[in-house]
Each structure stands twice: as structure tokens, then as C-alpha cells.
């Protein structure tokens, strides 16, 4: 493989490597380094060659879905079985299965809700007020006059 040559990265073998690296969670910078090119070159190739861009997106989508699923699982809590085995003289003498529970994680819940339902769960709520405040402005002006002794 000639590093830094776009032709190789358009072959089935090259595209498979790119997808695998993206699926493994490598950043664009790490991928470009493995390809023997600069990150800017990778971005230029993504614009020029849709196969490269689509392959990287496909690989990243897989890992993004796995992270989403793990975050949701952590937010909701889950149960799992822990297996412990005891051996004596190389022979299994005891096998114990224990059900364990991971309680829901409020940090994961907050993160999920702020990102999935920002209109309802973001920290800062946007409130719109309509109407006029003429009466309040007049009272405020009067108060300022009194304080200045113009009262």
C-alpha cells in the first residue's frame, strides 16, 4: 500500500480499513495519521470522494449507536448475573450465580434528557414577555425623582 495515495483508499480493502478504524472509535486525526496523510487532506478527500466520506460515516454510526445504547442502559439501570467458580485440584467444585443490579444513574438521565428533550430539560428556559410596562416605568421615574430630591 502506498501511504497517502487516495486510489488505495477507494478500493474495497482500503474502504474496509477506514470503516473499521471509524467503528473502533478513532478520531479523524488518528485515521488520517494511519493513512499517512494530514487531517485536512482527509477532509478534502471526503468532499471529493463520496465513498470515503460515506464509509467513515457508516463506521462512526455503529459506535455512536453502541454509546447511545450504553448511555440509555445506564440511565435506566439494569440487572446482570455475576458468575463465580471455585476449583479444587483443577476440578470445578462450586459454581455460584448472583443477580446484581446497577441502579439508574441520574447524571446519565440528565445528559440524555437535556440532549433529547432540550425544550423541556435545558438549564436555561427562554421566557417571552409581551405587553407594555408604561405604568411601572412611570412609577420608577417618580421614585428616581424623589430620591434625587426633585419630588
10-40 residue pLDDT tens: 999 999 999 999 999 899 999 999 999 999 9
pLDDT at 4 over 70: no
Q: DSSP letter at 125?
A: P
pTM of the model: 0.55
C-alpha grid cell for residue 109? 438521565
Extended beta strands in the chain, E state = 78-88, 91-102
Cβ atoms within 10 A of the Cβ of 54, count?
A: 13
Closest CA to 65 of 1, 103, 22, 106: 22
Q: Does the pLDDT of residue 130 top 90, yes or no?
A: no
pLDDT tens figures, 66-109: 989 999 999 999 999 999 999 999 999 999 999 999 999 999 99
Amino acid at each position: 500500500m502506498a501511504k497517502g495515495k487516495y486510489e488505495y483508499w477507494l478500493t474495497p480493502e482500503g474502504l474496509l480499513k477506514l470503516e473499521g478504524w471509524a467503528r473502533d472509535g478513532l478520531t479523524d486525526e488518528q485515521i488520517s495519521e494511519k493513512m499517512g496523510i494530514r487531517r485536512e487532506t482527509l477532509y478534502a478527500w471526503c468532499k471529493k470522494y463520496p465513498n470515503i466520506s460515506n464509509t467513515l460515516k457508516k463506521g462512526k454510526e455503529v459506535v455512536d449507536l453502541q454509546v447511545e445504547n450504553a448511555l440509555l442502559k445506564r440511565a435506566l439501570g439494569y440487572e446482570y448475573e455475576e458468575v463465580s467458580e471455585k476449583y479444587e485440584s483443577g476440578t470445578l467444585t462450586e459454581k455460584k450465580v448472583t443477580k446484581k443490579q446497577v441502579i439508574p444513574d441520574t447524571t446519565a438521565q440528565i445528559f440524555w434528557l437535556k440532549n433529547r428533550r432540550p425544550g423541556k430539560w435545558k438549564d436555561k428556559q427562554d421566557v417571552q414577555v409581551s405587553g407594555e410596562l408604561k405604568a411601572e416605568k412611570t412609577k420608577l421615574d417618580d421614585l428616581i425623582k424623589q430620591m434625587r430630591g426633585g419630588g
